[in-house]
Amino acid sequence: MIHAHKPDEDGYDLWLRYVPIEDMSLLHTYRAAITNIMQPSGSLTLNIAQNELVRGLEGLLGVLIPLTNTLTPGAIVLGKPTFAKLETESIGDEGYIITSTQGVIVIAGNTDIGVLYGVFHFLRHLQTHQSLENLPIISAPKLKYRVLNHWDNLDGTIERGYAGFSFWDWHKLPDYLSPRYTDYARAVASIGINGVTLTNVNANALSLTPQYLQKAVALSDLFRPYGIRVYLSARFSAPIEIGGLKTADPLDADVIAWWQTKAEEIYRYIPDFGGFIVKANSEGQPGPHDYQRSHSDGANLLAHALAPFGGIVIWRAFVYANENPEDRTKQAYDDLVPQDGKFEKNVLLQVKNGPLDFQPREPYHPIFGAMPNTSLVLEVQMAQEYLGLATHMVYMAPLFKETMDAETCDGPLAQTITGMAGVANTGSDRNWCGHPFGAANWYTFGRLAWDYTLSSEAIAHEWLRMTFSNAPRFVQMATEMMLTSREAPVNYMTPLGLHHIMARSHHYGPGPWVTGGRADWTSPYYHQADSEGIGFDRTPFGSNAISQYCSPYREQLSNRDTCPENLLLWFHHVNWQYILMSGRTLWNELCFKYNEGVAQVRQMQAAWDSLAEFVDAARFEHVRALLVIQEKEACWWRDACLCYFQTFSKLPIPAEYEQPTESLEYYMNVQHYFVPGIPESRF
């Protein structure tokens, strides 16, 4: 294995590395076309854009590009120069135009934020070795709200966080602003994200007190020039916990007054405060149902308080209850769809990509396309809660695209939404996301929220070129590896539509045997394995969750023979001897899929090993070591699940496959302590 003769990197610079261009012909072309930057005058945002451009060009071109006040050929001009006669109406408030005219490169926008976004795109253009003859570039975001959800707690822990602790140092705020906050803002702005929720959706009411609002002000002031608005999670019971009231009933006059006063207070601190994100009546969180009120009652309470200031309420549709005997995947639809049209205009309903909970594969959530009179936000998760935490390489773009391209009653899902929210996978680890490839998911979220028509392959190409190397062989092989990396864990964890069979609480590793406590947090509730077969019957003969989807998809799902096989066990209870399209029985197909997942990881290992010459030794060895862990854990998942399901099928694992190395009893007794991402008290 021959490593590249490159300086070791730790991943801190993410996709903003700005390393020297090695293609000398391209370098000379860029240098000839870019000789100076016409110094913009105006806002702090334009100064940031200028400084980023200077920094990027110096790194990429190996020379310091001077600033001038004179317009000359070879200049880059930032702003909205009148001489260029650019038509900018089509790009709105955040879009940009990058063009070349009279020997001058113009990066223009209707706002300074648009110019900043354009600068980052221009640098991306150079980083990925694109021709300057490909100009003009005209781009505007397709979604209005593009918000990162940090599930960070005030004590520094991160719920479902696998890359260290929170880098919000609440103890030192507001007086000390870590330089990392600025680098975070640069990364966020570079991919067009325009909102950040600082605190966990399992909210702590303290975040709304003056002590913590003063801390949020410091972050908001830093983020504002980068086009980033701050949001806070709001605990529905805050009027009781920090307000001294005896109730949080959304129709109570004192509660209404309390939230109005609180909104006024927040906007005195943060004039451009984005608004609240709320998790209510789900997994023990307080909400309007505690007072026999509807979700629209609860959301509208906050919406009325924020409306005078232009704020919004992002109300999460992740609602279900153990007391409800209905199929958990149906509960959010049943509860919320009848309230379509009852939410105030400044309420956005934030809906997970699938009806359960960020599983390796789910059908799209049936709420999409079913609430035409309500603004919807698609929620996805970059943190790999159910996909191997930060030790497995899983490129999430195919998962996101699978959802966004789904056909709903109102057309492609992406065209039915107002915004996109992503559960962040960042933390205090030096490389931000734990796994060196984890940052690809952060990058992907921003790029798709800006332009959901981009392909998974195109985004992978961009990220690889900016993060590692522009070498064609590297980009081709690493892209193939990334595009395989999502289907691999689907196969070695939950093939053919299986779901929610992970270990209890920490969700690390297999647990198809998990029972006890509330039924909807156990595995048999979902896989329904018995001597006849396996799978959750959601047809009219079962829970009838299929009825929540529109025609013709509903009919396709209802028929076991036409249901997509990758969702077969999500919607059907299928006999072990049922013959699939491969010609294999269901049992043999499960064995095949579990082994295929392991084989795909081994193929990823071989592919990565062949790319050592293109990557610095430090990052190469980090990825290589994590792939060893992933291969080991893929085998663990495969063997544990097949051993367990074999107790129902009573059928042998075909001899051509590797046989489990341990007994089912062994796998069932594996215990893991202090897994990252959950409070210690949960063990």
Q: CB 33: neighbour CB atoms within 10 A?
A: 16
Q: Which of the residues 283, 290, 334, 344 is marked catalytic? A: 283
- The Cα 304–Cα 344 span in angstroms is 8
Does residue 206 contact residue 242 with C-beta atoms inside 8 Å?
A: yes
Q: Write the CB contacts of 480 (distance below 8 Å, at least 6 apart in sequence).
A: 607
- The Cα 122–Cα 34 span in angstroms is 12
What's the burial of 246, exposed, middle or buried (CB within 10 Å: 0-12/13-18/19+)?
exposed
DSSP character string of 540-585:
TTTT-GGGGSPTTHHHHHHSTTTS-GGGHHHH--EETT-B-TTS-B
Q: Smallest Cα–Cα separation from 217: which of 170, 250, 152, 254?
A: 170
Which uninterrupted H or E stretch holds 628? helix 617-649
Whether 297 is catalytic is: no
Which amino acid is it at 667? Y
Which amino acid is it at 221? D
- The Cα 591–Cα 584 span in angstroms is 10
Which uninterrupted H or E stretch holds 533? strand 533-534
Per-residue b or e along 55-67, where b marks 16 or more CB atoms closer than 10 Å to that residue's CB: ebbebbbeeebee
Put the strands of the sheet holding 67-68 in their side by side order: 67-68, 36-38, 75-79, 104-108, 96-101, 137-139
- The Cα 238–Cα 243 span in angstroms is 7
Whether 596 is catalytic is: no
Which amino acid is it at 314? I
Q: Smallest Cα–Cα separation from 334: which of 545, 168, 478?
A: 545
Q: Which of the residues 13, 152, 379, 385 is marked catalytic? A: 385
Does residue 87 contact residue 108 with C-beta atoms inside 8 Å?
A: no
Q: Which of the residues 9, 357, 402, 429 is marked catalytic? A: 357
- The Cα 36–Cα 41 span in angstroms is 16
E strands, 303-346, in order: 312-316
Whether 357 is catalytic is: yes
Does residue 241 contact residue 235 with C-beta atoms inside 8 Å?
A: yes
- Annotated active-site positions, please? 283, 357, 385
